[in-house]
Structure 1
Amino acid sequence: MNRSGLAGVVLDPERESLVSSAGGVLLGQVVRASGLQRMLSAGLAPWRSTRTVHDPGKVLIDLATAVALGGDCAADVAVVRAQPDLFGAVASDPTVSRVIARLAADAGQVVPAIRAARAKARAAVWARRRPLAGTAGSRDGGLVIVDLDATLVTAHSDKEHAAPTYKKGFGFAPMCAFVDHGEYGTGEVLALDLRPGNASPFNAADHIRCLDAALAQLPETERGQVLVRADAGGGSKAFLHHVTDLDLEYSIGFPAQGPVETAIETIPESAWIDAIDSDGLPRDGAQVADLTDWMPTPTMPTRSVARFGPQHWPDTMRVIARRERPHPGAQLRLTDRNGWRITCFATNTPIDPTGRRGWPVQDLEVRHRQRARAEDRIRNLKDTGLRNLPFHGYTHNQIWLEIVALAADLLTWTQTLAFHDHAPARRWEPKRLRLRILHVAGRITRTARRNHLRLPRDWPWNQLIDTGWAALRTT
């Protein structure tokens, strides 16, 4: 019988100069390569008093580093403070609290300043290595896909502006925006807008504000080639007109009710064609069709456009439906027809069955279905500080969301700059990245007035850390 390796272990009271987050040196190099701390310090200079020892920008970087390493509250900055050889001098807990309070008192100006610094750092990262496929500035293969989605964050106490949610919970409903890196990468957080728990997922003004904040995060050369994706919560006339007025493309969920029901009842069976999966292969039991030509003529609007906003759908909008047999045990819906589950989305992307002057309808359906990656991004954010908003004050939690976005950026930019384009590590989720790269222990030695970080000899992912360090030092 094999005995446990712990059987002969005794805890030695002697201590050595060790670090438990040796892989965090990559995060520090990303901060240096992107210029993030310099830009944050400059942007937050008005909120630094003359007697301040710790710069507010450095405090936010330390908090974001702690969250990137797995922390979920401000007190977890102690993990970073305990490793000064890696992360430098870190403010005490009372100082961190005072900085957050000072920034939260003027959140209306602080949040834009933080976001402006993030946008400049993102432009620097993308200039070094663009994380997307295709050619920048070109709609042909160079689309920047921005996903919008709302999520729910539970509050376990009566925090400011926490409210009942539509899922019978209690907390907040932040609106999130991400940029999808595609098949070989992960994704970046562009915007996190805090909202009370009773905020509607269909609020057009919230979608417009979040999209505008997301577009401001993109490098200027990338903003003219954006595809906006969202679920049916974004399917409002006001939001689609806003996207169209910006000369952008959209792929937005559309309710399978009303005119859609009429179109599905009148469309001939020959109009349905086999759907495909992400590999271009036929998807068993699924079909797609362009419903636009069978949609009934809309009635003339009677409400005031000036008061209620656009009263008609954009002229270039087309509605595409997908029908599929529900899997065994699936709950039937009111929109199901003759045993088919119907889902729809609207798009203004030109449709061409040949693919020469537009997209085949099957490819558009696959492109919209890949919006599910936004759910993965939200799940990863909840593993990176979003699961619980730690403060009582609403503006304090607004600042916390900006720290979460900074932490997510540090993780994603590390993967973008440190690893090869098609390396599996580019697609690792934060949990795996922490387990294999960031949380490796190391020993600090001092020789010839220099600090040396030594990693375990047999650590399976040493090569990734070595190559990542070399790549970041040369970028």
Structure 2
Amino acid sequence: MSPQCCAIDTARASARAAAWEHAGEHAPDHHVTAQNPIVIDLDAALVTPHSEKEAAAPTYKRGFGFHPLLAFVDHGVGETGEPVAALLRPGIAGSSTAADHLKVIRKALAKLRSAIGPCPGRTVIVRTDGAGASHTFMTWLHNKRVSYSIGLGLTDAMVTALSAASPKVRVRSPSTMPRRSATGYGASTPPAFSTWPTGIRVIIRRNTRTPQRS
């Protein structure tokens, strides 16, 4: 990273720390605990330019442009929050690149150091979709003792191993109403996930297909 980028990151971190301090009890880091952690969401976005730009390239969705990876602090209501880190990437960049996820989460944690300290532990939860479900990324989070919630598409072997499991938890929608078409199963590192970090909590949602009306 260039000295100019380091200086900009430092200035932004200082500005955020000052703003959150002035916010008092309304600040995202007010009374941060393991039960009330700071939530960092990682996700990528496809950006299509209207003319050919430097570093623009074909995307995996057959478009053309850029594929930046972003980190946001999720707080407030109505899906509000603020960006804390970003990695600009050409459109050809992969979705599940662990090295890129590590770069972004390291930058995000560094910019929040005034709120969470050098060892965030359980005061932070990192969320991402299946693009972040790599052994390298999850093991890094696990070793740093940072909480995480990561989506994962099941392989055929996992589906076979879990097919006989009885549902244990009723999946609820955001409105807290039970979903009749879905059930959940929770377990601590079932055999199908033996190669993932030890002790992770696995929650599998099983959907029941609704017959299509003609």
Q: Answer yes or no: is the 8 Å Cα contact 1:174–1:194 preserved in 2.
A: yes
Match 1:121 to one of 9, 12, 15: 15
Residue 160 (str. 1) matches residue 43 (str. 2) = no
Choose between structure 1 and 2 for higher RCO, CA contacts under 8 A separated by at least 6 residues: 1
Mapped partners of 1:167, 1:263: distance in 2: 32
Residue 149 (str. 1) matches residue 43 (str. 2) = yes
Residue 215 (str. 1) matches residue 113 (str. 2) = no
Identify if the C-alpha distance between structure 1 residues 163 and 185 changes in structure 2 by more than 3 Å, giving closer, same or farther: closer
Match 1:255 to one of 131, 153, 168: 153
| 1:217 to partner: Cα distance | 1.7
Q: Secondary structure at the match of 2:197?
A: coil
Mapped partners of 1:167, 1:175: distance in 2: 16
Q: Please tell me the root mean square deviation across aligned C-alpha atoms, in Å.
A: 2.4
Mapped partners of 1:251, 1:280: distance in 2: 19
| Cα deviation 1:355-394 (Å, max 9, x = unaligned) | xxxxxxxxxxxxxxxxxxxxxxxxxxxxxxxxxxxxxxxx
| 1:287 to partner: Cα distance | 1.4
Mapped partners of 2:84, 2:46: distance in 1: 18
The code of the aligned residue for 2:28 comes to L
Mapped partners of 1:288, 1:234: distance in 2: 22
Uncovered stretches (5+) of structure 1, i.e. residues with no partner: 1-106, 299-311, 330-475
Match 1:139 to one of 20, 34, 38: 34
Q: 1:403 aligns to what?
A: none
| 1:290 to partner: Cα distance | 1.3
Q: 1:57 aligns to what?
A: none
Q: Secondary structure at the match of 1:148?
A: strand
| Cα deviation 1:406-427 (Å, max 9, x = unaligned) | xxxxxxxxxxxxxxxxxxxxxx
How many aligned positions are there? 206
Identify if the C-alpha distance between structure 1 residues 125 and 327 changes in structure 2 by more than 3 Å, giving closer, same or farther: farther
Q: 2:96 aligns to what?
A: 202
The code of the aligned residue for 1:319 comes to V
Q: 1:235 aligns to what?
A: 133
Q: Answer yes or no: is the 8 Å Cα contact 2:75–2:81 preserved in 1.
A: yes
How is 1:441-452 mapped onto 2 (pairs within 5 angstroms)?
none
Identify if the C-alpha distance between structure 1 residues 160 and 321 changes in structure 2 by more than 3 Å, giving closer, same or farther: same
Higher helix share: 1
Identify if the C-alpha distance between structure 1 residues 182 and 283 changes in structure 2 by more than 3 Å, giving closer, same or farther: farther
The code of the aligned residue for 1:253 comes to G
| 1:319 to partner: Cα distance | 1.9
Identify if the C-alpha distance between structure 1 residues 292 and 262 changes in structure 2 by more than 3 Å, giving closer, same or farther: farther
How is 1:103-118 mapped onto 2 (pairs within 5 angstroms)?
108-118=2-12
The code of the aligned residue for 1:254 comes to L
How is 1:314-393 mapped onto 2 (pairs within 5 angstroms)?
314-326=197-209
The code of the aligned residue for 2:203 comes to I
| 1:244 to partner: Cα distance | 1.5
Mapped partners of 1:261, 1:195: distance in 2: 34
| 1:264 to partner: Cα distance | 2.5
Q: Answer yes or no: is the 8 Å Cα contact 2:187–2:201 preserved in 1.
A: yes
Query: TM-score w.r.t. structure 1 length?
Result: 0.40
Query: TM-score w.r.t. structure 2 length?
Result: 0.85
Q: Secondary structure at the match of 1:284?
A: coil
How is 1:421-440 mapped onto 2 (pairs within 5 angstroms)?
none
Mapped partners of 1:241, 1:156: distance in 2: 39
Mapped partners of 2:147, 2:97: distance in 1: 20
The code of the aligned residue for 1:117 comes to A
Identify if the C-alpha distance between structure 1 residues 327 and 112 changes in structure 2 by more than 3 Å, giving closer, same or farther: farther
Identify if the C-alpha distance between structure 1 residues 189 and 170 changes in structure 2 by more than 3 Å, giving closer, same or farther: same
Q: Answer yes or no: is the 8 Å Cα contact 2:70–2:104 preserved in 1.
A: yes
Mapped partners of 2:197, 2:73: distance in 1: 24
Q: Answer yes or no: is the 8 Å Cα contact 2:162–2:192 preserved in 1.
A: no
| 1:246 to partner: Cα distance | 1.8
Worse-matched range after superposition: 276-285 or 192-201:
276-285
The code of the aligned residue for 1:120 comes to S
